[in-house]
Chains A and B, each alone.
Chain A
Amino acid sequence: MSRVAAQQLLPTSAEEAAAALHETQAVRIRGGGTKLGWGRPLETTAVELRSERLDELVAHNEGDLTAVLQAGVSLARAQEAFAAAGQMLALDPPDGGATIGGVVATGDSGPLRHRYGAPRDLVLGVQVALPDGAVARAGSKVIKNVAGYDLAKLMSGAFGTLGLLTEVTVRLHPRPLGWCTAVGRADDPHVVAQAAVQLAHRPLEAEALDLRWEGDAGAVLARFGGSSAKRRAEAARIMLRDAGLEVDCVVEDEALWATQRDDQRGSAVLRVSATQERLGPLLDVAREHGARVVARAAHGLAWLGLREEAADSLAATVAQVRAALAPSPCVLLDAPAAVRAAIDPWGPADPAQLELMRRVKSRFDPKRRCNPGLFVGGI
Chain B
Amino acid sequence: MPGSLIGTLRAACGEEHVLTDHHQLRTYESDGLLQHAVVPRAAVLPASAAEVVAVVRACHEHGVPWVARGSGSGLSGGALPVAEGVLVVLTRLRRIVEVDLPNQRLVCEPGVSNIAISAAVAPTHFYPPDPSSQIVCSIGGNVAENSGGAHCFKYGFTTNYVTGLEVVLADGTVVELGGKELDRPGYDLHGVFVGSEGTLGVATRITVRVVPTPESVRTLVAFFSSPAHAGHAVSEIVAAGVVPGAIEMMDRLSIDASEQMAHAGWPADVGAALLVELDGPEAEIEARFDDVARLCAEAGSSEVRVARDAAERDVFWKMRKAAFPAMGRVSPHYYVQDSVIPRTRLTEVLERIEQLSRDSGLQVANVFHAGDGNLHPLVCYDGHVAGEAERAEELAGEIVLACVQAGGSITGEHGVGVDKKRYMPEMFAEADLAAFQKLRCAFDPDGLANPGKVMPTPRLCGEVPGPYRRHPLEAAGLADRM
The digit string for A65-103, where 1 denotes a CB below 8 A from any CB of B, is 110000000000000000000100000000000000000
- Once the chains are docked, how many angstroms separate the CA of A118 from the CA of B189? 15
Residue B106, interface by CB 8 Å = no
Residue A321, interface by CB 8 Å = no
Residue A317, interface by CB 8 Å = no
Whether the pair A329, B185 counts as a contact (CB closer than 8 A) is: yes
Residue A121, interface by CB 8 Å = yes
Whole-angstrom distance between the Cβ of A142 and the nearest chain B Cβ: 5
Interface residues of B in 399-420 (CB under 8 A from A): 407-416, 420
Whether the pair A145, B412 counts as a contact (CB closer than 8 A) is: yes
Whether the pair B412, A144 counts as a contact (CB closer than 8 A) is: yes
For B332, the chain A residues whose CB sits under 8 A away are none
- Once the chains are docked, how many angstroms separate the CA of A151 from the CA of B176? 19
For A28, the chain B residues whose CB sits under 8 A away are none
Whether the pair B181, A363 counts as a contact (CB closer than 8 A) is: no
Whether the pair B431, A144 counts as a contact (CB closer than 8 A) is: no
For A153, the chain B residues whose CB sits under 8 A away are 159, 188, 191-192, 194
Whole-angstrom distance between the Cβ of B189 and the nearest chain A Cβ: 6
Interface residues of B in 343-399 (CB under 8 A from A): 343-344, 369, 372-374
Most A C-beta atoms less than 10 A away, residue of B196, B212, B413? B212
Whether the pair B103, A276 counts as a contact (CB closer than 8 A) is: yes
Whether the pair B191, A363 counts as a contact (CB closer than 8 A) is: no
Whether the pair B243, A174 counts as a contact (CB closer than 8 A) is: yes
Whether the pair A146, B191 counts as a contact (CB closer than 8 A) is: no
- Once the chains are docked, how many angstroms separate the CA of A128 from the CA of B435? 10
Whether the pair B427, A356 counts as a contact (CB closer than 8 A) is: no
Contact of A352 among B153, B174, B281, B344 (CB under 8 A): B174
- Once the chains are docked, how many angstroms separate the CA of A177 from the CA of B284? 13
For A203, the chain B residues whose CB sits under 8 A away are 212-215, 280-281
Whether the pair A140, B159 counts as a contact (CB closer than 8 A) is: no
Interface size range of chain A in the complex: 35 or more
Quick one: given A146-B195, A156-B188, are A356 and B169 in contact (CB under 8 Å)?
A: yes
Stretch at the interface among A223-231, A237-245, A248-256: A223-231
- Once the chains are docked, how many angstroms separate the CA of A330 from the CA of B217? 40
Contact of A137 among B157, B187, B424, B428 (CB under 8 A): B428
Whether the pair A136, B408 counts as a contact (CB closer than 8 A) is: no
- Once the chains are docked, how many angstroms separate the CA of A298 from the CA of B145? 27
- Once the chains are docked, how many angstroms separate the CA of A289 from the CA of B374? 51
For A201, the chain B residues whose CB sits under 8 A away are 104, 124-125, 212
Residue A130, interface by CB 8 Å = yes
Residue A36, interface by CB 8 Å = no
Quick one: given A329-B184, A353-B189, are A134 and B434 in contact (CB under 8 Å)?
A: yes
Contact of A144 among B103, B148, B180, B238 (CB under 8 A): B148
Residue B48, interface by CB 8 Å = no
Contact of B188 among A65, A136, A143, A154 (CB under 8 A): A154
- Once the chains are docked, how many angstroms separate the CA of A354 from the CA of B105? 25
Whether the pair A118, B187 counts as a contact (CB closer than 8 A) is: no
Whether the pair A142, B373 counts as a contact (CB closer than 8 A) is: yes
Residue B482, interface by CB 8 Å = no
For A231, the chain B residues whose CB sits under 8 A away are 283
Residue A277, interface by CB 8 Å = yes
Residue A34, interface by CB 8 Å = no
Residue A342, interface by CB 8 Å = no
Quick one: given A276-B102, A300-B103, are A64 and B344 in contact (CB under 8 Å)?
A: yes
Whole-angstrom distance between the Cβ of B478 and the nearest chain A Cβ: 21
For B341, the chain A residues whose CB sits under 8 A away are 142
- Once the chains are docked, how many angstroms separate the CA of A141 from the CA of B372? 11
- Once the chains are docked, how many angstroms separate the CA of A64 from the CA of B372? 8
Residue of B nearest to A271 (CB): B183
Whether the pair B343, A64 counts as a contact (CB closer than 8 A) is: yes
- Once the chains are docked, how many angstroms separate the CA of A306 from the CA of B249? 53
Whole-angstrom distance between the Cβ of B230 and the nearest chain A Cβ: 16
For B238, the chain A residues whose CB sits under 8 A away are 63, 65, 174
Whether the pair A357, B284 counts as a contact (CB closer than 8 A) is: no
For A66, the chain B residues whose CB sits under 8 A away are 342
Interface residues of B in 100-142 (CB under 8 A from A): 102-105, 124-125
- Once the chains are docked, how many angstroms separate the CA of A328 from the CA of B184? 9
Residue A360, interface by CB 8 Å = yes
Contact of A63 among B152, B213, B340, B343 (CB under 8 A): B343
Whether the pair B181, A329 counts as a contact (CB closer than 8 A) is: yes
For A331, the chain B residues whose CB sits under 8 A away are 185
Whole-angstrom distance between the Cβ of B360 and the nearest chain A Cβ: 24
Residue B173, interface by CB 8 Å = yes
Residue of B nearest to A145 (CB): B409
- Once the chains are docked, how many angstroms separate the CA of A194 from the CA of B438? 45
Whether the pair A357, B182 counts as a contact (CB closer than 8 A) is: no
Contact of B145 among A61, A146, A275 (CB under 8 A): A146
Contact of A151 among B284, B409, B436, B454 (CB under 8 A): B436
Residue A216, interface by CB 8 Å = no
Whether the pair A143, B180 counts as a contact (CB closer than 8 A) is: no
For A226, the chain B residues whose CB sits under 8 A away are 241, 284, 287-288
Residue A120, interface by CB 8 Å = yes
Whole-angstrom distance between the Cβ of A367 and the nearest chain B Cβ: 12
Residue B309, interface by CB 8 Å = no
Residue B219, interface by CB 8 Å = no
Stretch at the interface among B18-26, B65-73, B440-448: B440-448
Q: List 11 A-B contacts (CB under 8 A).
A: A64-B344, A135-B431, A143-B373, A145-B412, A147-B410, A150-B146, A153-B159, A154-B189, A231-B283, A275-B180, A357-B186
- Counting from the closest, the 8 A-B pairs by CB-CB distance are A153-B191, A174-B241, A136-B435, A227-B287, A273-B181, A228-B283, A63-B344, A145-B409
